[in-house]
Amino acid sequence: MRSSKNRSRFLILCTAPAVILYFVFMILPTLNVFRMSLFERGAYSPTETFVGMANFKVLIKDVKFITSMQNTILLIVTVTVITFFFAIVFAAILTREKIKGQNFFRIVFYIPNILSIVVIAGIFSAIYKPDTTGMLNNIFTFFAGRNIEILWKSQPMVIVSIIIAMVWQAIGYYMVMYMASMAAVPASLYESAGLDGAGRLTQFFQITLPLIWTNIRTTLTFFIISTINMAFLFVKSMVAPGMSDVGLSFMYAQKDAGLYGYSMAAGVVIFLFSFLLSALVNRVTEREVLEM
């Protein structure tokens, strides 16, 4: 009995610093965002005026906010589908096929993930240069036989440009994670399936995907949440102000304009949106857990 109490005290002492820090730097600021969304206040003014749900009533009618959320949803859906498709395909190829230099490909694909967003934005800004000195326009000019000057960071190509950069940055990380999961699948399962006449494609859908599905679900939820933040960072680093807003860039723009309460209302909507989207994805992707 005494040893049990000592163990409980030890566990409390070990976890208390992390719990306190999480409460102070995560829970309290989040609760304060909800509180501030109900007030009208300038960014640097101590005066607060309670307005209730007025900020939200204005927000749901704000065309700029609606457009920014539409851009956010478009990026989430497009970047997620493309990234996970290529990450799983590349992982399957490098795991199942006997390709020389697998470790080399792992490193090459993973490198973009360790680069900062500012560095990636600089790389793609050079690639997207509007004249023929930009790599993409240079390639199109070479094949077309005439000067091609596409404005990649202007409408209507700006969203496409952001999608390409975000996909390039994320594929390697998830590919390496899926390679680790696929490497744990027993080779005997593939051998048995091969003896039964199942081809590589059938084995992939009937064996590989079901056995790594738990990992896919976890990474999918994590990726969707992180994409909301990553979209803001890419837009902030790559695109001229106002060219293409996403949810978080709209929120920061309102704060910079001195509409602090209105900005917090936008933050609350984005927070609830990400929470509900994560719950929906978890529900939709729920499957019976298979054991090897």
**Tens of pLDDT, residues 229-275:** 888 888 888 877 666 788 888 998 888 888 888 999 999 999 999 98
48, 41 contact by CB (below 8 A): yes
User: Which residues have CB under 8 Å from 85's CB, separation 6+?
Assistant: none
pLDDT of residue 85: 93
Phi, psi values for residue 197, rounded to 5°: 95, 10
pLDDT of residue 290: 56
pLDDT of residue 83: 93
Pairwise CA distance, residues 56 & 265, whole Å: 6
Phi, psi values for residue 148, rounded to 5°: -115, 120
Which residues, given as ranges, of the chain have pLDDT below 50? none
Instruction: Tell me the percentage of the chain whose pLDDT exceeds 90.
Output: 18
Residues 124/130/131/133 CA torsion (nearest 10 deg): 0
Structure tokens at 9: 């005290």
Domain locations in the chain as residue ranges: 37-284
pLDDT of residue 105: 80
Pairwise CA distance, residues 20 & 256, whole Å: 31
Phi, psi values for residue 156, rounded to 5°: -100, 15
- Homologous superfamily of 37-284 in CATH? MetI-like (1.10.3720.10)
149, 131 contact by CB (below 8 A): yes
pTM of the model: 0.84
